[in-house]
Every structure is written in structure tokens, then in C-alpha cells.
Copies of this chain bind each other. A is one copy, B any other.
Amino acid sequence: MDLRSFLTSFGTSFIIFVVLMFLFTWLSRKPGNQVIYYPNRILKGMDPSSKTRNPIYWIKEAFFSSEDDIISASGVDTAVYFVFLSTAFRLFVMAGIVLLPILLPVSATDHSVIKQNKNAKNSTSTNSTINEFNKFSMERIGPGSPRLWAYMIAVYWVSLVTYFLLWKAYKHVSEIRATALRSSEPRAEQFAILVRDIPHAREGETKKEQVDSYFKAIYPDTFYRAMIVTDNKEVNKIWEELEKYKKKLLRAETIYAESKSIGSPEGVRPTTRTGFLGLYGTKVDSIEYYTEKINEITPKLEAEQKITLRDRQLSSALVFFTSRVAAASAAQSLHARMVDSWIVVDAPEPRQVIWTNLSLNYYSRTIRKYVVYTIVSITILFFMIPITFITAFTTLENLEMLLPFLRPIIEIKSVRTLLEAFLPQLVLIIFLALLPMLLRYLSKAEGIPSESHVTRAASGKYFYFTVLNVFIGLSLGGSLFYNIKRLKGKPEAIIEVLAASIPYSATFFLTYVALRFFVGYGLELSRVISFVIFHCKRKFLCKTEADVKEAWAPGDFRYATRFPSDMLILTITLCYSVIAPLIIPFGVIYFGMGWLVIRNQALNVYVPSCESFGRMWPHIHTRFLSALVFYQVIMFGYFGVKKFIYAFAIIPLLLMSLIFAYVCNKKFYRFFHHRALEVMCHELKETLDIDSVYRSYLPPSLNSDKLDDDEYEIV
């Protein structure tokens, strides 16, 4: 890719961005679109119309919002995400301030490689296209040149700044987590623990009695009661049927009411067919039919609820305590002599519980985990092959050759430039959109009990996927055929080959980052897609108020993919920061703009679906550090390629990274896994209604007013 196509791509991205920003300014002013641009505020009961119509007002608001605003609007996890964004932003700002003024002159004034190339005459086409753009990259420095010391110092600077910022960030996040946990607002999950792998009860004893007597003996003062997890498959089926009919009844009633106001005063009673999908069968009056169905199913549900609670008890339970310290302490203590029974962990939030996973036993969880890891590894390894092919495809010459019928279109000059600029990036983005669902499904299959934990697990897998396949795969793929002969028989040369091939992909990734921040954040802010979908739905599908509300429900942040793609940008920018320092401003814009745009979305749009009090951070921290280590290794290899005999000066940095990781882990990590007692022992604001805590955990299919307290107690 040469300078012209880079500029085309950059320019087009920018134009799209401007258009999207215009759309956003225009659409967000219309009161009818408030549900698209301020759903979080609306759901919180705040009035969004009080906002001024100034188009840059949102920037001011986002910029001046404090961390506490974010926490109250969107929770601790979102605040932690902003810590990540600002850490990355600061890192690249501090790197840019030092690296750009030092490294650009150093490389721009070195002509040794160019001279070499001129002498050698047979310089490949790859080299010549690179030289056009990479005037300011490390590529220009001659082998063994003392100028490489400047780059070595740059690597040290970037690493030290990273340690410093990560340390500060970990400390800060730990603070945020502690403040949130210490809060005097009682939260249901702080009073409960999840108990798994309950052994078989003695003859003539129910699980409930077993669990009660077990915990009463250990915690005579603080134990409140236990909720045995049941097999809810049957009862859920009936409950869902009931809910479906209730919804249909509501819809039919709305239609009937509307017909009254529009047509005849008696209205037209809606009808439905009883057959498959309402397409055939006898025609009946909808309202009567659904009411009848509901009356028929309700007693069935109640009977099933009783049976489930009595006979379908599984080997896990939620145990409730009357004090937060007791629950926090219980979740950390070994209860049983055999460590694979009575396993206790922190209870997930009620809305996060994955009921079907709770009763899997310890060894089946372990086996599932390893099976999933194997599948994911295979997926990562074998996606390598298509990615390599895609990269080979995405030169237009190949495309013309392989798909000759496209030639007339490609031959058009403007189309050609556009395609050349966008094709590889577009293919990549679409390709990456396919994976998250699979990874989420696989993470769930591991037997993890909470949604936020599944998000973390999926995000980890996605991170390894993107870094391994997108970054390494594309870097290597671009120059794989050029380098394959150097790899033969020496698999340990992979780092050197990777390092040598990195500069060849610099412009590709520059374009990729620009595309991501212009188009990505443009779409994010303008919410064009959500806007279109909502208006279509409202027009054609929504009947009742609830339907409309469902149509504009903003969803949550989707951290499982958000983090890994930010991490990919971070890794790319970090790895190129010294080799091609021109990428740094792009990184700065990505994370700066991200901070601003997402801040607006956090305040006004997204509604987090769960709260893990920052348990994501240790993962982010580890991956941030992995990216740094990866960068250091790449630089070590690249100094080797440059025949710089002091390349080993990187080794102390690698050691420092490991020690830093160890110290951070020892100092901070355990508090993100367990709740520290000194934090949990703060007084509550009000006396606690422990029964409501208990009830908040009841699954909706079992939560019935008819089943009063005694029903549960009998079981």
C-alpha cells in the first residue's frame, strides 16, 4: 500500500466521520429520537430534554463529568473501563512527547539503507513502496548504527512509563472497588455465597435440611437461610408459555382498544388461528382464546413449581447470611475436609446467575474447561489459515486473477483506489465480527456461574485470538512468502522473522487504526444502526408500550468484544511506537476520542447488564503487560535484525516486566478475587431486609405470590 491509497483511506474515513457527526447532531435534537440518544437517562427517570441544543454540548458534558458521575450513571465496571482508556491515552501522550521529537529526526537524517538499496539496484518492489511512506521509521537506520541507541532508550522510556501508569491505575481501580464495596447501600450478593458440589444427603434427609444443618453448625449466629438450586427446565418451559400468552393477550387488547378509537365504537375484536404460527386452524377470538389458555396453564405452573421445589433439588445452593463480613469470610474459607465438596464462592448478582451451570460438579467443570481450551486453541490455530489467505487475496492483482469477472469494475480508477484502500480492513472487520458469539457460548459451556465472569472469559479468548491471528497473522502473512525460506529448519527464528516483517505492515495498521476511530466511533456516537432498526421495529412490529420499550432498549457495553479490540489497537500502537513512531498520534486519537465518545454513551446510552466491581481489571492489567512484553520481545528481535550488538540490553526490561507483574499480582490481585474483610465491615445505612435479599434471587419462573414463605420452608 502506498502513500496515495493511505491518504484515500484516511480521507474517506474522515468524510464518513463528518457525515456521521452531522447525522448525530441533527438526529439527537429531535425529541422523538431521545429514546435512541438518551435511553440510560430515560430509564433512570431523568429528563433528557433539559439539555441545550448546542451541538458540542455533549463534548463539554462528557469532558467535565467526574468519575463519580460515571459510577452513579453506569457502575464501577464502566469507571474501570475509563481507567483503562485514560491509561492507554496517557501512555501514548507521554510516549509521543518524547519519541516523536527524538526519533523522527534520527531516522529522517539517516540515509544508509537508501544508499544500500541504490547500490544494490535489485531492491524489491516491497522496499520501494515502503520507503515512500516510512521516511520516518526505524527501517531507515542502517545495521549496527549507533543511532539505534536512541531507539533503545525509547523502548526503555515506553516501558517505564507503562509500569508507572499501570501501577497507578491498579491502585486507583483498587480504590474504586473498595469505595464501591464499602458503600453503605446493601447489595444482595454481598449477603450470599454460592455453595457447589454438595455431597449426597444422608438417607431420609432432604438437601435443604442437609445444607441448613451444615451451615447452622458452623455459623450459629450469622446464618440466615439457604436456597437450594433446582432443575428448572420443566417449570421454565411452562412459565415461558404462560408469559408468551400473557404478552399476546396484552397485544390483542391493545389492538382492540385502538380499533375502538379508530373505527366503530364497539371496535373489532382481533382473531387468531389456533394452528402453527397462527397461519391455519380454526379462527377464534384472540382475547378469549388467550385468557382461556392462561387460565389453563396457571394451575399447571403452580403444581410444577411445587414439584420442582420439592423433588428437583440439585447439588448446589445459595446460602444467605445476616451480615456482609460473615458472607465475605465464608466465601473465602475452606468448609469441608474433602476439598472437592462444599466448594464456596462469592455469590453472583441475582441478575447474573447462570442457573443451568450451578449444579455442574467440580470434575465435570474441570474437564469442560480443558475441552473448551482445546477447542479454542484449535480455532485460533486454524483461523490462521483463512486469515493468511485473505491477506494474500486482498491485493487487487490476486483478485483480478482469481475472479476475472470482477475485472471491469476493478479497472475503474476510482473504484480501484477505494478498493485498494478499504478492502483488507473491511474483510478483517467483518471476519472479526463472526467470532464473539462462538467464544461466549464456549465460555458459558465451561460451567462458569455468572454472566460477568463469562464476559471476562470470552474477552480473554477473544484477546488471544485477535493478537495471535490479526496482528501476528497479518504481519507475518504480508511477508510470509518472502520470509518462509528463513524459517526453514529453525522454528526458534520466528521472533526474528516476525520482527523483520513488522515494518512492512506499518501502513496497513495505520489505516486500520484510523478506520477504527473515525468510522467506529462515528457509528458508535451517531447510533445510525440502532436508529434504523428502532424505527423499522416501531413501524412494523411494535404494538404495545412494552414492545416499543424493548425496541429501544440500549443494551450494555459488550465488554467481551470491546476490550479485546481496544487491546488490539493498544498492542499494535505499542509494537509500532518505536519502529514507526508516526503511529503514536493515531493511538492518542483513538484512545482520546474513545474516552470522549464512550463517556457520552455511558452517561446517556448504555445500561450495564451486570456489575462485577472491577473484577475485569486484573485481566486488563495482565493483557496490557502481555502487550508490553510482546513489544519488548519484538524489539529484541528487531534490534537483532538490525545487527545491533547491544540488543541484549532489552533483557533487563523483560525481567523487570516479570517482576512488575509478580509484585502487582501479589499486592493487588487477591482483593479482586475476594472481598477484603476490612472493606466489608463498614456499617450499613439502614437495617437490612434480609428476606428481600433472599427473594431477589428467586428465579422468575419460581417466584409466585401463591408460594408463600412456608412453601419454601417445607421443602
Question: Which residues of A are at the interface with B, using a C-beta cutoff of 8 A?
Answer: 174, 178, 214, 217-219, 221, 325, 328-330, 332-340, 342, 362-363, 366, 663, 666-671, 674-679, 681
Alpha-carbon gap, A329 to B674, bound state (A)? 14
Residue contact B332 to A333, C-beta cutoff 8 Å: yes
Alpha-carbon gap, A679 to B217, bound state (A)? 10
19 A–B contact pairs at CB < 8 A? Answer: A174-B337, A178-B337, A333-B333, A333-B677, A334-B670, A334-B671, A334-B676, A334-B677, A335-B676, A336-B671, A336-B676, A337-B671, A338-B668, A339-B667, A339-B668, A339-B670, A340-B666, A362-B666, A366-B666
Most buried by B among A221, A334, A681: A334
A340 and chain B: residue at smallest CB distance = B667
Contact partners of A333 in chain B: CB under 8 A: 328-329, 332-333, 674, 677
A665 and chain B: residue at smallest CB distance = B339
Q: Chain B nearest CB: distance from A667 CB in Å?
A: 5
A670 and chain B: residue at smallest CB distance = B339
Contact partners of A678 in chain B: CB under 8 A: 214, 217-218, 335-337, 342
Contact partners of A221 in chain B: CB under 8 A: 221
Number of copies: 2
Alpha-carbon gap, A362 to B362, bound state (A)? 33
A671 and chain B: residue at smallest CB distance = B337
Known contacts A329-B330, A332-B332, A666-B362, A337 near B676 by CB under 8 Å: yes
Alpha-carbon gap, A332 to B214, bound state (A)? 19
Contact partners of A337 in chain B: CB under 8 A: 174, 178, 671, 676, 678-679
Alpha-carbon gap, A105 to B74, bound state (A)? 79
Residue contact A338 to B681, C-beta cutoff 8 Å: no
Alpha-carbon gap, A324 to B667, bound state (A)? 29
Residue contact B174 to A681, C-beta cutoff 8 Å: no
Alpha-carbon gap, A309 to B700, bound state (A)? 60
Contact partners of A681 in chain B: CB under 8 A: 217-218
Residue contact B335 to A677, C-beta cutoff 8 Å: yes
Residue contact B339 to A669, C-beta cutoff 8 Å: yes
Alpha-carbon gap, A336 to B669, bound state (A)? 12
Contact partners of A671 in chain B: CB under 8 A: 334, 336-339
Contact partners of A679 in chain B: CB under 8 A: 337
Alpha-carbon gap, A342 to B677, bound state (A)? 11
Residue contact A338 to B214, C-beta cutoff 8 Å: no
Q: Chain B nearest CB: distance from A220 CB in Å?
A: 9
> DSSP majority for the A interface?
helix
Alpha-carbon gap, A576 to B671, bound state (A)? 49
Alpha-carbon gap, A221 to B219, bound state (A)? 13
Residue contact B218 to A325, C-beta cutoff 8 Å: yes
A662 and chain B: residue at smallest CB distance = B366
A341 and chain B: residue at smallest CB distance = B667
Alpha-carbon gap, A71 to B677, bound state (A)? 37
A219 and chain B: residue at smallest CB distance = B325
Alpha-carbon gap, A556 to B681, bound state (A)? 44
Alpha-carbon gap, A114 to B174, bound state (A)? 73
Q: Chain B nearest CB: distance from A614 CB in Å?
A: 12
Q: Chain B nearest CB: distance from A80 CB in Å?
A: 15
Alpha-carbon gap, A639 to B339, bound state (A)? 38
Q: Chain B nearest CB: distance from A693 CB in Å?
A: 21
Residue contact A667 to B338, C-beta cutoff 8 Å: yes
Contact partners of A218 in chain B: CB under 8 A: 325, 677-678, 681
Most buried by B among A342, A363, A677: A677
A174 and chain B: residue at smallest CB distance = B337
Contact partners of A667 in chain B: CB under 8 A: 338-340
A681 and chain B: residue at smallest CB distance = B218
Alpha-carbon gap, A669 to B218, bound state (A)? 21
Contact partners of A325 in chain B: CB under 8 A: 218-219
Alpha-carbon gap, A329 to B336, bound state (A)? 12
Alpha-carbon gap, A174 to B218, bound state (A)? 20
A366 and chain B: residue at smallest CB distance = B666
Residue contact B217 to A666, C-beta cutoff 8 Å: no
Q: Chain B nearest CB: distance from A76 CB in Å?
A: 14
Contact partners of A217 in chain B: CB under 8 A: 678, 681
Contact partners of A334 in chain B: CB under 8 A: 332, 670-671, 674-677
Alpha-carbon gap, A679 to B671, bound state (A)? 27
Alpha-carbon gap, A217 to B221, bound state (A)? 17
Contact partners of A332 in chain B: CB under 8 A: 332-334
Q: Chain B nearest CB: distance from A664 CB in Å?
A: 10
Q: Chain B nearest CB: distance from A615 CB in Å?
A: 14
Alpha-carbon gap, A208 to B366, bound state (A)? 45
Contact partners of A174 in chain B: CB under 8 A: 337-338
Q: Chain B nearest CB: distance from A231 CB in Å?
A: 26
Alpha-carbon gap, A340 to B667, bound state (A)? 5
A667 and chain B: residue at smallest CB distance = B340
Alpha-carbon gap, A93 to B679, bound state (A)? 57
Contact partners of A342 in chain B: CB under 8 A: 678
Contact partners of A340 in chain B: CB under 8 A: 666-667
Alpha-carbon gap, A420 to B468, bound state (A)? 63
Q: Chain B nearest CB: distance from A492 CB in Å?
A: 15
Q: Chain B nearest CB: distance from A201 CB in Å?
A: 15
With contacts A335-B676, A337-B678 known, what are 16 further pairs, Cβ within 8 A? A174-B337, A174-B338, A178-B337, A217-B681, A218-B677, A334-B670, A334-B677, A336-B676, A336-B678, A337-B671, A338-B667, A338-B671, A339-B671, A340-B666, A342-B678, A362-B666
Contact partners of A676 in chain B: CB under 8 A: 334-337
Alpha-carbon gap, A99 to B330, bound state (A)? 51
Alpha-carbon gap, A666 to B679, bound state (A)? 30
Alpha-carbon gap, A335 to B671, bound state (A)? 9
Q: Chain B nearest CB: distance from A642 CB in Å?
A: 32
Q: Chain B nearest CB: distance from A582 CB in Å?
A: 40
Contact partners of A329 in chain B: CB under 8 A: 329-330, 333
Contact partners of A328 in chain B: CB under 8 A: 333
Alpha-carbon gap, A328 to B679, bound state (A)? 20
Q: Chain B nearest CB: distance from A333 CB in Å?
A: 5
A674 and chain B: residue at smallest CB distance = B334
Alpha-carbon gap, A546 to B329, bound state (A)? 48
Alpha-carbon gap, A336 to B680, bound state (A)? 10
Alpha-carbon gap, A248 to B206, bound state (A)? 70
Contact partners of A338 in chain B: CB under 8 A: 174, 667-668, 671
Alpha-carbon gap, A669 to B337, bound state (A)? 9
Alpha-carbon gap, A218 to B679, bound state (A)? 9
Contact partners of A214 in chain B: CB under 8 A: 678
Alpha-carbon gap, A415 to B177, bound state (A)? 78
Contact partners of A666 in chain B: CB under 8 A: 339-340, 362, 366
Alpha-carbon gap, A330 to B678, bound state (A)? 12
Contact partners of A219 in chain B: CB under 8 A: 325
